[in-house]
Amino acid sequence: MDHPPDRTDRWQTGKVIVVACPGQGSQTPGFLAPWLELDGVADRLGAYSEAAEVDLIAHGTESDADTIRDTRIAQPLIVAASLVTLAALESRAGRRADGIAGHSVGELAAAAGAGVISDADAMRLVGIRGRAMADAAAAAETGMSAVLGGDQEAVEARLAELGLSPANYNGGGQIVAAGAMPALAALAEEPLRGTRVVPLQVAGAFHTEYMSSAVETLRDAVAGVPASDPQVTLWTNRDGSVVTDGRTALDHIVDQVSSPVRWDLCMASFADRGITGLIELAPAGALTGLAKRGLRGVPAVAVKTPDDLDAAVALLNGDAK
């Protein structure tokens, strides 16, 4: 992706805006339609479709919820949407954000946004990732459920008791459990006191040992991809730390397929570094919701459609009211 030059080193000025790239489950039917009204987006999505081996325009405008729930389709759709949004945002703002992070599959969009890999490689890798994770998920009947509220240690103990794994630590009192469907059903039937269990619209136990075969497939694919060091601050879901080496960033993205997503630690790192705003790329909503609980007082803009770009540009350029 060609990026506009930075206007200044915002880390030194106290105005620090981070872009967040969402993960699987954030897609909704037709969500790409308004983006196709922007100049150049149809051509960009056509190229992305070829790289990912998925018809992004058809699935992003016409396919129903069940169709785009398919991991093979959902993951490329989400990464493509984030890249389209980021290009539009940077073009209008005339600069890049000061940092970037992705949640789960959103880490591929973040890697491209940080200049670690090209958009084309991000889309090729997400196509491979989606197919490999779908194949791994097909080997066993598994799923994921969000556990809202409760004490973290108590939730972890209950999951272990049921043979479930914590797949996402999302912060704001939310842990996503993953594993066999009967165990998830038992969790929902007898939730811990003070918690609520919400089944997620994903087709497998992602970020657990069930995905081990997908890890090896993605590792092989990544081996031949050129990687540059990040050109903006880039966080990893591995432990919320900042990663400064491009090859290390890709290695973490591969390992993350079968390891828990630590978005809670990413948000803690955002706070420690004193960020002053967060912009979530399309298909947006989930991460800004988490930010309201985990980054209290930090303005957050969800860019769902092009109509939201003005607010995002204002935040990025320090002009937000």
The reported pLDDT for the residue numbered 15 is 82
Ramachandran assignment for 278, one of left (phi > 0), alpha (psi -120 to 50 degrees), beta (any other): beta
- CATH classification at residue 301: 3.40.366.10
Domain boundary pick from 165, 182, 199: 199
Statement: residue 148 has pLDDT above 60 = yes
Return the ∠ at Cα 58 (arms to 304 and 72), rounded to 5°.
Answer: 85
The reported pLDDT for the residue numbered 318 is 87
Q: What does the pLDDT look like over 41-85, one tens digit per residue?
A: 999 999 999 999 999 999 999 999 999 999 999 999 999 999 999
- CATH classification at residue 174: 3.30.70.250
Our answer to whether residue 104 is catalytic in this structure is: yes
Ramachandran assignment for 190, one of left (phi > 0), alpha (psi -120 to 50 degrees), beta (any other): beta
Element (H or E) spanning 181, and its range?
helix 181-189
* 125 and 245 part of one domain: yes
* 191 and 47 part of one domain: no
* 95 and 224 part of one domain: yes
| Domain count for the chain | 2
Which range of residues forms the domain containing residue 159?
A: 142-199
Q: Please check whether residue 112 lies inside any domain of the structure.
A: yes
* 172 and 285 part of one domain: no
Statement: residue 184 has pLDDT above 90 = yes
* 30 and 169 part of one domain: no
Statement: residue 127 has pLDDT above 60 = yes
* 192 and 269 part of one domain: no
**Nearest partner of 101 among 6, 243, 214, judged by Cα:** 243
Q: Please check whether residue 11 lies inside any domain of the structure.
A: no
pTM for the predicted model, two decimal places: 0.93
* 111 and 244 part of one domain: yes
The reported pLDDT for the residue numbered 307 is 98
From the list 63, 207, 252, 259, the catalytic residue is 207
Domain boundary pick from 199, 216, 244: 199
Over the chain, what is the mean pLDDT?
94
From the list 26, 63, 104, 165, the catalytic residue is 104
* 275 and 182 part of one domain: no
- Residues of the chain with pLDDT > 90, as a percent, come to 91
The reported pLDDT for the residue numbered 14 is 66
Q: Please check whether residue 81 lies inside any domain of the structure.
A: yes
Output b/e per residue, 150-177; b: 16+ Cβ within 10 A: beeeebbebbeebebbbbbbbbbbbbbb
* 222 and 301 part of one domain: yes
Our answer to whether residue 252 is catalytic in this structure is: no
| In contact, 108 and 129? CB cutoff 8 Å | yes
* Relative orientation angle of helices 71-93 and 309-316, to the nearest 10 degrees: 60
